[in-house]
A and B are shown apart, each in its own frame.
Chain A
């Protein structure tokens, strides 16, 4: 069964450092999403890509977060500088174009100290 891949699975970093997360969606899925999930809450959308284009990044804190999907396949989410409040699970999801069902990767659990 095809899966969304993410790395690293866990990341511990000190505040003010830079971190990057990688996601490889299910093959053929044109739409890719990055979410942030704080413990006890549901995932919240950070950015949505359609192929290589950003569809929505209205909830992305652009002063410190950036996301790219240069070739319309895998994607990178970067935080620079990291803050204590960024500690969360960062989830990547993908969906087939035109369909609503999203499939999630295992996530990257970030701890900022």
Chain B
């Protein structure tokens, strides 16, 4: 079983739609959580950290459920520029190593 699992998609949504991605992780000792965004053939870039209380950055909302070992990312009012692969990332211990999911591909259509 993969340590971090994501629905690979692809998700094809119209502009203005709301879309949600989910991610589960297997290590209950995981300490910190992130969403990274990766454009085609580019490097991953940090989108946002995920806090236990949930956090919001503009159109993006991230939530963490430690009991269910589940992370989510909600994108409201999708823009064409949101088209990318979204990587769920978990830090599993004190070595500060990140474990990446395989990513969920999003295409926002005009």
Q: Mark A97-113, 1 if CB is under 8 A from B, else 0.
A: 00111111111010000
A55 close to B (CB within 8 Å): yes
List B contacts of A44 (CB < 8 A): 100
* Interface residues of B, dominant DSSP: strand
User: Is B87's CB within 8 Å of the partner chain A?
Assistant: yes
* Given A42-B4, A104-B43, A105-B43, 20 further pairs, Cβ under 8 A: A31-B96, A40-B8, A41-B102, A41-B103, A42-B101, A42-B103, A43-B100, A45-B98, A45-B99, A48-B97, A95-B96, A99-B96, A100-B31, A100-B34, A100-B91, A100-B96, A101-B34, A102-B46, A104-B45, A107-B43
| Chain A residues with a Cβ under 8 A of chain B | 31, 33, 40-45, 48, 55-56, 91, 95, 99-107, 109
User: B residues near A, CB below 8 A?
Assistant: 4, 8, 31-32, 34, 41-46, 49, 87, 89, 91, 95-103
